[in-house]
Amino acid sequence: MSALAMSRSSSLVLASPSGGWLRGFAAAGVAVGLHALVLALLLSHWQAEAPAAPQVRTLTTRLVTLAPPAPPQPEVVLPPTPAPEPAPAQPVEAPKPAPRIEQQKLEQAALARKRVEEQREREREERQRMEQQRVERERVRREAEELARQQAQQRQAEAKARADAEAAERARQAEAAAAASRQYLPIAKEAPDYPDRALDKGIEGDCTVTYRVTPQGRVEDPQVLGECHPLFIRPSLAAARTFRYQPRVVDGRAVAVEGVKNTFHYRIE
């Protein structure tokens, strides 16, 4: 209807193009009236729903009279009913496993046994290896102790050998020194006879004799050294020939000593 009104108003405007603003105002009023009419029609057809009345609940009571309880009846004991004998148990056959499952179980058991045996073998090899290492360490320790003992014995032997050599050297030096100090010490030495002619004439004097001591300790080649009275030469040489000496020893061997001197003193008391 709005469209119709609009079309009509348009036709009016087109029919009278020279009406002015009054004709436009009239057309707007017609349109507003039409809209109000449509709204009034819609409100007349709409009815609000009334709320439902509340429901009232009623509680009804009734008095009931019960009869007195009856006296208890005596209990009747019935004889025991024998229990029925159990039926003999039927043997139950175990279900037979499938061949494939049984084969898998056998394979798993064999694999488990193999793993256990391998583990035991590894443990046995490990124990053997540890035992070999222990034996090797023990052998090395014994060899080290034996080597140390041998070295100690060798050092002791060397020290003893050095001590023996030093003692022998000291003994040799002492013996050599003793021999050197004894080479002029006679074992037997007698004084010469005083010549009678020198005694009668009252002649006194000294006579030095030099000679060679042999390895046997005897005197060889005595000679008069220096000035000596002629009366004293013969008895001095004769007395020197009777001397006996302990021979000089060098490196364990007796040697001769040259140029041994001895002076005879002739005095009249």
Q: Residue 121: is its pLDDT beyond 80?
A: yes
Whether this prediction's pTM lies above 0.75 is answered by no
Q: What is the mean pLDDT of the chain?
A: 78
Within 10 angstroms of residue 246's Cβ, the number of other Cβ atoms is 16
pLDDT digits (tens, 9 = 90+) for 214-252: 888 889 999 999 889 999 999 999 999 999 888 888 777
State residue 34's pLDDT score: 86
Q: Can you tell me the distance from the alpha carbon of 35 to that of 38, in angstroms, rounded to the nearest whole number?
A: 5
Q: Residue 73: how many CA atoms within 13 Å on its side-chain side?
A: 3
CB neighbour burial string for 211-233, b if at least 16 within 10 angstroms, e if fewer: bebeeebbbeebebeeebeebbe
